[in-house]
Structures are given as C-alpha cells and as structure tokens.
C-alpha cells in the first residue's frame, strides 16, 4: 500500500514540476530552477560523501570553476554553441578534478576534509586576487549559449520557462546517471570503500584508483550544475568556489540523508524552501534555519530520507 502511495506521491510531484511554469510566477519558476541546479550539485557531492565516504569541503571549486570556464570561453558579442560550451566546461573541470583528486586522495579522514578545503580556498583566492577572470567582481556572460538543434528547434535560455525545463531535464538525467553508477560493479566497490576501505584494499582493489575515478565523476557532475548556474544568472564570481557553497551543499546532503539517491533531492528542496520562507518572515532567518536543522538532526539522525514514507519496502 505504501509503495503505491509512494509512487503516486512522486508521480504527482513530477507532474507538478512539469506543470509549474503554467501557474507559477516568474520568481518562483526561477527559484525552482535554482533548486534543481542545486540538486544536481548536491547529488554530485553525495556521490563522494554518501556513497564513497569522502567528506569534501571543497566541492564548490568544481561548481564555480565550470562557470568560469564558460565565462572565459564565451565570446563577448556572439553566443556559443550550448553543447560545445557544456562539454568544454565538463572536460576542463574534469581535468581540475584529476589534479585536485590526485592530491587530496592521498590523505584520509580529517586530513582529507582539510586538504579539500585548502585547495578550494586556493582557487577562491586565485580567482579573487588576480585579474585573470575579473577578480573579486567576477565576470559577466554577455550572450548566453545558444541551444539550437540545427535550425528546426531552439531553446531560449534567457526565457525563464525554457531554462526551467532545461534544468528539470538535466536534474532528472543526472539522478538517473547517479543511480546507474551506484548499481554498477563500480558502485559496488565504492560501497565497499565507504563501509570498510581497509578490507576493500586487502581484497585486491586499488582503492586510490577507484576513489579518484569517483572524485572526477563527481567533479564533472558538479560542473554541469555550475555551468547551468552561470547560464541562469549570466554572471560568475569567486563566491561560487568558496567554502560557503561547499558547506551549504554538505548541509543539504546531511539534512536529506547521505547515501540515498533521494537524499540530496529532499535535503536541497527542504533547506532552500525553509531558508526562503524564513527570509520572508524575519531578518534573523539564519537563527530559525539553525533551529530547524538541529531539530531534523535530533529526530532524523539519518536525514529526512529516514522518514518512513520515503523508504522502499516495509
């Protein structure tokens, strides 16, 4: 019975998401797009934190870097092809992922957290203090990439509704990809590393290699979200790579429930809605958010996915 209700519930939500642009006003459609982009980013972090046991405080480096790649590649006066730009952002961020991953994965536990934080902040200050990409002001993307399939179909990314659907499709695809990774032989090894890395090593797995591949995949998925975010606002700035963004995302992972595909979806949506709601009510919204998070941690130690309704089976 609960399984049917669950399917019905998610079906209705998806339907509501599809229909949202028809009754929501501009602000809410934009906000929903923001949530969807964040879901992509938080899901990529969950791949590290929840499924591999790597708690990163520098994941925003990839989010922001990807946006910067787009900003630096975009010509001033003409639009770039969307798919070329996206691919370039993903690949460049993937290279950064290899470099960062190769370094930070030599450490474990608290040292891993600290070194991800350090590398992320290094990138932040690099972008902040050099003139390479606009310094502390960041850069504008004057003409958004052009999504056109030859001549017969075109998306206008400046159009809020068009962008919303792009974000929705992307989020769905990313969740499907992450699901596939988790249920693959590779995902099985990640689960082994997450639960007991020592044993996984002793069983003949070069765990460093597996963690590095996972790290790079996560950085590339983060690149997708950073790219979309840059496209949405038409601007990138150093804050995008700062640890605040990483920490915020980590909070969403934990709030939703790490190690569950739905965790980031629930965590991100909840936190962003709660924050937005409190901001409307009071100036001291952060205080209320803090209380809400403490309450969740108290009553749902495994995150909101621990709420029975979201659970499969029994």
Selected range binding another protein among 128-136, 139-147, 206-214, 279-287, rule: CB under 8 A: 206-214
Question: Does 44 engage in binding with another protein (CB under 8 A)?
Answer: no
Smallest separation (angstroms) from another protein to the CB of 221: 12
The whole-angstrom separation of Cα 305 and Cα 255 is 9
Q: Provide CB contacts within 8 A for 146, sequence distance 6+.
A: 79, 80, 81, 82, 154
Q: Is 185 in the site for another protein (CB under 8 A)?
A: yes
Determine, following the binding rule CB under 8 A, whether residue 313 of this chain makes contact with another protein: no
Report in angstroms how near the CB of residue 206 gets to another protein at its nearest. Answer: 5
Per CB under 8 A, 160 contacts another protein: no
Does the protein bind another protein through residue 108 (CB under 8 A)? no
Cβ burial 97-109 (10 Å sphere, 16+ → b, else e): beebbeebbeeee
Residue 26 or residue 188: which is nearer to another protein going by CB?
188
CA distances from 49 to 5, 55, 132, 259 (A): 30, 5, 32, 8
- CB of 185 vs another protein, minimal distance in Å: 5
Spatial distance between the Cα atoms of 31 and 36, rounded to a whole number of angstroms:
9
**Looking at beta carbons only, is 181 or 255 nearer to another protein?**
181
Token pair belonging to 220? 């590339």
Encoding tokens for residue 17? 């998401």
Q: Is the CB of 102 or the CB of 294 nearer to another protein? A: 102
Q: Distance between CA 237 and CA 285 in Å, rounded?
A: 24
Tell me which residues touch another protein (CB under 8 A).
180-181, 183-189, 191-192, 195-196, 198-207, 210, 213, 217
């Amino acid at each position: 019975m609960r399984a049917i209700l669950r399917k019905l519930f998610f079906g209705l939500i998806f339907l509501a998401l599809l229909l949202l642009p028809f009754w929501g006003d501009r602000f809410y459609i934009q906000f929903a797009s923001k949530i969807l982009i964040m879901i992509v980013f938080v899901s990529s972090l969950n791949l590290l934190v929840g499924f591999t046991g790597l708690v990163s405080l520098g994941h925003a480096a990839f989010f922001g870097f990807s946006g910067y790649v787009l900003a630096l590649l975009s010509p001033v006066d003409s639009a770039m092809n969307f798919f070329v730009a996206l691919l370039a952002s993903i690949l460049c961020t993937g290279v950064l992922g290899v470099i960062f991953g190769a370094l930070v994965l030599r450490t474990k536990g608290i040292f891993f957290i600290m070194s991800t934080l350090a590398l992320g902040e290094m990138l932040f200050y690099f972008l902040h203090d050099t003139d390479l990409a606009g310094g502390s002001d960041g850069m504008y993307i004057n003409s958004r990439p052009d999504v056109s399939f030859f001549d017969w179909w075109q998306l206008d990314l400046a159009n809020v509704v068009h962008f919303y659907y792009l974000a929705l499709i992307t989020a769905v695809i990313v969740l499907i990809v992450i699901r596939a990774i988790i249920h693959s032989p590779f995902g099985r090894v990640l689960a082994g590393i997450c639960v007991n890395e020592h044993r996984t090593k002793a069983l003949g797995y070069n765990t460093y290699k597996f963690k590095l591949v996972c790290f790079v995949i996560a950085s590339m998925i983060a690149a997708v979200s950073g790219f979309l975010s840059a496209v949405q606002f038409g601007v990138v700035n150093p804050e995008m790579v700062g640890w605040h963004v990483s920490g915020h995302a980590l909070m969403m992972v934990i709030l939703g429930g790490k190690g569950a595909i739905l965790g980031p979806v629930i965590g991100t949506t909840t936190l962003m809605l709660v924050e937005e709601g409190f901001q409307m009510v009071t100036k001291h919204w952060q205080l209320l958010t803090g209380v809400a998070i403490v309450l969740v941690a108290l009553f749902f130690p495994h995150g909101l996915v621990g709420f029975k309704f979201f659970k499969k089976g029994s």
